[in-house]
Amino acid sequence: MSVRKLKPITPGQRFRVVNSFDTITTDKPERSLIAPKKNSGGRNSQGKMTMRYTGGGHKQKYRIIDFKRAKAGIPATVKTIEYDPNRSAFISLLVYADGAKTYVIAQNGLQVGQTVVSGVDAAPEIGNAMPLSKIPLGTVISCIELRPGQGAVIARSAGTFAQLMARDGKYATIKMPSGETRLILLTCMATIGAVSNSDHQLIVSGKAGRSRWLGRRPRTRPVAMNPVDHPMGGGEGRSSGGHPRSRKGLPAKGYRTRSKVNPSNKYIVERRKK
C-alpha cells in the first residue's frame, strides 16, 4: 500500500494526497453481499434536524461483513481485495470450500489466492481467526470480540491492531490500539494480523468538496456562535475566551466523563495515556 501526491494543476489538488489502491483487485462488489443503505440527512421521522453537520454525500451500498467468522474448520480462498465506502479498511471476499461467500475485514499482507480458516484448530497465520486461548503470546491481532459470539468490535479500522500480552485464568490481557490494557475472555475470537490500509492516516482530502461527498456538511465553530447557541459563543470582537466545552456545557480536552462505578472498570488493567 502506498499513497500518491498529485501535481498542483488546480487549487484542490495542490495539497491532495490520495491512496494509490495498488492492493485493490476489483471495483465490482459481490451482488449477493450488498444491501441498500438509506441516508437520513440527520433528520428524524418528523423531518426535524436532530444531528447537525450531516447530509448529502454520494450514494452508497452497504457491504455485509462477516464479523463472527463462525464457519469453523472450513477453509476459504481469498477471491478479491476491495474498497468499502462504509469503512476506512479494505475488505476481502472469501469463497469457502462449501461454496459460501462472505466479506471480511482484510488484514495487512492478505493476498488473493491465499487460504484462510477460522476455529480452534487454525494456525496463527495472517487472516486466520481463532480464540484468544489458542493465539501465541505477543501476536499482533485485530477484529477482536468483546463477548463470545458477539462478533468483532475492537481494532476494525484501517491500520489498527492490538497485542496479546498474557493469559491468566479465563482472561487474556490485551493491549488495545488506544494504549489501554484490558482483560477479555479467552473464548473470544480474534484475527491474526493488523488491519489493512495503514496509509489511510496519510490521506489529505485537498478541498472542502470531498467532505461533502462523504456526507459531511460545513461545521460552525462554537466561538463564532452567539451565547444562546453555545457556551463558547458571544463576546466582543474575536474573543475566544473560556474553557473549551461541548454545546451542553461539559468541559472538553482532558475532562473525564467515564463513570467511576462503570461495571467494566474491573476489566481495565491500565487506562490509556492522556
What single letter denotes the amino acid at residue 38? K
- Structure confidence at residue 241 (pLDDT): 73
- Structure confidence at residue 63 (pLDDT): 98
Cell triple for 214: 462523504
Each of the 274 residues of the chain gets a pLDDT tens digit; together they read: 689 999 999 999 999 999 999 999 999 999 999 999 999 999 999 999 999 999 999 999 999 999 999 999 999 999 999 999 999 999 999 999 999 999 999 999 999 999 999 999 999 999 999 999 999 999 999 999 999 999 999 999 999 999 999 999 999 999 999 999 999 999 999 999 999 999 999 999 999 999 999 999 999 999 999 999 999 999 998 887 788 999 999 999 989 889 999 999 999 999 988 7
In a domain, 207, yes or no: no
- Structure confidence at residue 242 (pLDDT): 82
In the three-class reduction of DSSP (H, G, I as helix; E, B as strand; rest coil), residue 91 is classed as strand
CA pair distance 122, 79, nearest whole angstrom: 20
- Structure confidence at residue 1 (pLDDT): 65
Total domains present in the chain: 1
β-bridge partners, 174 = 164, 182
In a domain, 263, yes or no: no
CA angle 141, 142, 143 (to 5 degrees): 140
Is 64 buried (19+), middle (13-18) or exposed (0-12) by CB count in 10 A?
A: exposed
- Structure confidence at residue 160 (pLDDT): 97
Is 23 buried (19+), middle (13-18) or exposed (0-12) by CB count in 10 A?
A: buried
For the four alpha carbons of 120, 137, 87 and 180, in that order, the dihedral sign comes to: positive
Please report, for residues 1, 14, 196, 214, 270, the alpha-carbon distance to residue 206 in angstroms, rounded to integers and kept in the order given: 20, 7, 23, 14, 38
DSSP structure class, residue 136: P
Q: Which domain holds residue 145?
A: 3-201
| CATH code for position 126 | 2.40.50.140
In a domain, 75, yes or no: yes
**Backbone φ and ψ of 134, nearest 5°:** -105, -5
- Structure confidence at residue 240 (pLDDT): 79
- Structure confidence at residue 49 (pLDDT): 96
In a domain, 60, yes or no: yes
In a domain, 76, yes or no: yes
> Hunting for cell 465506502 — which residue is that?
85
Question: What is the model's pTM?
Answer: 0.92
In a domain, 260, yes or no: no
Q: In what order do the strands lie in the sheet with 115-116?
A: 101-105, 91-96, 76-82, 115-116
Q: Are 117 and 128 in contact (CB under 8 A)?
A: yes
In a domain, 226, yes or no: no
In a domain, 101, yes or no: yes
